[in-house]
Amino acid sequence: MTDMQGDLVETGWLTGHLNDDNLRVYDCTVFLTPKGDGTVSIESGRAHWQEGHIPGSGFLDLVEDLSDTTQALRFMMPPAEKFAKAMSEAGLGDDCRAVLYCAGPPMWATRVWWMLRAFGFDNAAVLNGGWTKWKSEGLPISTEPPSYEPATFTPRPRPGLFVGKDEVAAAIEDGQTCVLNTLSRDLHAGKVAMGPRAGRIAGSDNLPAMDLLGEDLRLLDDPALMERLGGIGADPDRRIITYCGGGIAATLTAFALTRLGHDKVAVYDGSLSEWSADPSAPMETG
């Protein structure tokens, strides 16, 4: 069995374990490109992966295979059966270990990590620094497809790791839950909009997910993470709900909180894409 320590691995570790029989490595990249009308175009990173990737790695398609495409909102959690089918076909079996990476900030990798966790799979890690660090170090790059055989992934859903709008509405009323916006400060203040209405979920705090990363897109060390997260009242005894525009960046903060031992963390899957579209859902600016 692969001796994979923790939920965050370094490039040096991965280079020494790429040929381990039970290790599966996956690129999870999605590209979001701003458009002139304030919206973004969404593109799977599959073509980017085909042009070059970590040797042996496969590709997990969040745009189609790992989202509920029957819903109007993008990137919503798929049914367990669809998720299990995609993972099984990608070769991730119950007895495997997975390392996830992406181009740019690690939020796409942490999205898949959080989804795996929500379906009861705990043997996954995120590659610290991702594709950016791998390339900068001049490590091997391949265009060959993976050799992973189809496997059996058994979903074991854990309730509470993803929440919906009603649970968030109840949380902002109870006064006990830390509802945390992981978008930029300008988006939090409503200076720019993401969705039909500018601003934030009423009563929510703000810590941009990007503030948890260094300039090299690696996650800050644990003491620095504790300092950043402690500054907004993310107490280990409090329940914390993270949100963003569409439940992606929010998983980076959820991942960091979990690394620090927080066990009452949830991600609002619909995030502002859903909340801001409902005129009755309270929002604030300023």
Q: What is the mean pLDDT of each run of 10 residues along the chain (286 residues)?
A: 72 96 97 77 95 98 95 94 98 98 97 98 98 97 97 97 97 92 96 89 96 95 91 82 96 96 95 96 96
CATH fold for domain 162-284: Oxidized Rhodanese; domain 1 (3.40.250)
Q: What pLDDT score does 5 carry? A: 58
Give the pLDDT of residue 1. Answer: 40
Answer whether 8-136 and 162-284 agree in fold.
Answer: yes
Q: Which residue has the tokens 């189609």?
A: 64
Domain ranges of the chain: 8-136, 162-284
- Bridge partners of 36, per DSSP, are none
Predicted confidence at residue 37, as pLDDT, reads 67
Residues 81 and 15: their CA atoms lie apart, in Å, by 33
Please state the pTM of the whole predicted model: 0.96
Q: Residues in the chain, how many? A: 286
Cβ neighbours of residue 205 closer than 8 Å, sequence gap 6 or more: 178, 179, 180, 181, 232, 233
Could you tell me the two tokens for 159? 């309730």
**Topology, domain 8-136:** Oxidized Rhodanese; domain 1 (3.40.250)
